[in-house]
């Protein structure tokens, strides 16, 4: 008997404020150009990012004022719980279920701190069952969507007949720090947006089956991606060499994961990749031997939402599902560690 975790529902959510990429570039120009040597040459990153708009939990004027940890984290908690509620209720509505039908909840987020954790706050807000199993996950960054779903699938497999709600929320806009004029902060300002997603799993039914998952962390790579903790918030740390790392390091790891699960690249019908950036998507197409433009869902999500860190891959998956794609699909995402996460999903 097949006990693979199956996807019952998927819902996405974004906050209310919309940032046009041109408006963000103009705001950065007014804030920094003329005050910092060399800043002018960084402006093309906004035009080359492949992004037209993004969503934010705060208006642009909020970001033009210096904020400390307390103010940022208060907004993080309030906005994160609100988006998680929207994503959770969207999942339940699709599945025709109520909050009382959820047996376990797994939450992923890396853009703020909450103790009690976000899942506890959501349980209280929605009056969920008091016996619900909770698993909050922090620190996985952009890989948190795929790796978190793998953790939720593993939990579902140990709870046959039970329903596991997996939620992810990232509020990247709150990490913008006006006093940080580093290249990493400029690139992050051009790239990141806010969003959330929810997925409902159990081991019954006929939905898409999660058949395998895995990950790989490269040695000596802790400085590739992560946070720098400062008095005024979280500062972005990432290497400009990520596209090249994808080109030179990823393929052997992909082949190893597939081989460990009795597959080769030819057994994959489509790739659901986290769109870290335009150059990363191009590098992924090269490594996976795909024709240029194949990862169109990833590019379109990046263009319309920006990089929402861990949540982004599920905006891509949502489009794949709505396109009624069949066969075997490989989800992947890169994040701090430096780590890649994989998950194989078979569409009926």
**Domain ends where: 165, 182, 202?**
202
What is the arithmetic mean of pLDDT over 157-178?
A: 92
Q: Which residues are catalytic?
A: 142
Residues 6+ apart with CB under 8 A from 96: none
Looking at the structure, tell me whether residues 32 and 101 fall in a common domain.
yes
Which pLDDT band holds residue 31 (cuts at 50, 70, 90)? Answer: low
Q: How far is CA 56 from each of CA 225, 240, 323, rounded to the nearest angstrom?
A: 22, 25, 27
121 and 179, same domain (yes or no): yes
> What pLDDT score does 32 carry?
60
Q: Are residues 195 and 236 in the same domain?
A: no
Q: Which domain holds residue 194?
A: 6-202
Mean pLDDT of 33-41: 57
- The Cβ-side half-sphere exposure at 228, using a 13 Å CA radius, reads 14
Residue 100: HSE in the Cβ half-sphere, 13 Å Cα cutoff: 0
Which whole-number Å values give the CA distances from 45 to 1, 192, 278, in the listed order?
Answer: 52, 12, 11
pLDDT at 63: 85
Task: Look up the pTM and report it.
Answer: 0.94
Same domain, 69 and 94: yes
Specify whether the CB–CB gap between 337 and 170 falls below 8 A. Answer: no
Q: What is the pLDDT of residues 206-237, one digit of tens each?
A: 899 999 999 999 999 888 888 878 777 777 77
pLDDT tens digits, 316-344 = 999 999 998 889 999 999 999 899 999 99
> Is position 87 within any domain?
yes
pLDDT at residue 222, as a whole number: 87
Q: Say what the pLDDT of residue 1 is.
A: 53
Last residue of a domain, one of 145, 167, 202: 202
Please indicate, yes or no, if residue 311 is contained in any of the structural domains: yes
Residue 35 clears pLDDT 60, i.e. is over it: no
Give domain status of residue 1, yes or no: no
pLDDT given for residue 40 in this prediction: 65
CATH code at position 142: 3.40.47.10
Q: Is 172 found in the same domain as 261?
A: no
For the chain, the domain total comes to 2
pLDDT at 227: 82
On whether residue 147 sits in a domain, the answer given is yes
Measured between alpha carbons, how far is residue 273 from residues 47, 143, 188, 342 in Å? Answer: 22, 10, 19, 9
Both 33 and 169 in one domain: the answer is yes
Whether residue 119 has pLDDT greater than 80: yes
Q: What is the pLDDT of residue 2?
A: 66
Out of 172, 202, 232, a domain closes at 202
Note whether 153 and 282 are same-domain residues: no
Residues 213 and 197 in one domain: no
28 & 96 share domain: yes
CB 52 within 8 A of CB 303: yes
Tell me: do 218 and 127 sit in the same domain: no
Mean pLDDT of the chain: 91
Same domain, 196 and 213: no
**3-state DSSP assignment of residue 111:** coil
Residue 176 located in a structural domain:
yes
Please check whether residues 169 and 121 belong to one and the same domain. Answer: yes
């Amino acid at each position: 008997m097949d006990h693979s975790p199956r996807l019952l529902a998927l819902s996405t959510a974004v906050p209310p404020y919309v940032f046009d990429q041109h408006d963000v570039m103009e705001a950065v120009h007014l804030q920094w150009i003329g005050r910092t040597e060399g800043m002018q040459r960084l402006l093309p990153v906004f035009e080359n990012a492949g992004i037209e708009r993004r969503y934010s939990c705060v208006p642009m004027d909020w970001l033009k004022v210096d904020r400390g940890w307390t103010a940022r984290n208060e907004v993080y908690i309030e906005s994160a719980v609100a988006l998680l509620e929207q994503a959770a209720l969207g999942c339940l509505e699709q599945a025709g279920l109520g909050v009382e039908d959820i047996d376990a909840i797994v939450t992923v987020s890396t853009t703020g701190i909450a103790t009690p954790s976000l899942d506890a706050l959501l349980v209280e807000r929605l009056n969920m069952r008091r016996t619900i199993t909770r698993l909050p996950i922090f620190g996985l960054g952009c890989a948190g969507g795929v790796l978190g779903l793998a953790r939720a699938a593993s939990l579902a497999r140990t709870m046959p007949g039970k329903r596991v709600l997996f939620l992810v929320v990232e509020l990247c806009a709150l990490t913008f720090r006006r006093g940080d004029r580093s290249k990493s902060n400029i690139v992050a300002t051009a790239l990141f947006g806010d969003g959330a997603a929810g997925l409902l799993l159990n081991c019954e039914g006929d939905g898409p089956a999660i058949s395998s998952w895995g990950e790989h962390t490269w040695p000596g790579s802790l400085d590739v991606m992560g946070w720098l903790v400062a008095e005024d918030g979280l500062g972005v740390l990432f290497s400009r060499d990520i596209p090249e790392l994808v080109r030179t390091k990823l393929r052997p790891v992909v082949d190893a994961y597939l081989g460990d699960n009795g597959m080769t690249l030819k057994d994959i019908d489509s790739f659901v990749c986290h769109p870290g950036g335009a150059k990363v998507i191009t590098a992924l197409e090269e490594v996976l031997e795909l024709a240029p433009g194949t990862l169109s869902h990833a590019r379109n999500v990046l263009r319309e939402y920006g990089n929402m860190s861990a949540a982004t891959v599920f905006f891509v998956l949502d489009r794949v599902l709505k396109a009624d794609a069949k066969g075997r699909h490989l989800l992947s995402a890169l994040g701090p560690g430096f780590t890649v996460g994989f998950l194989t999903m078979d569409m009926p």
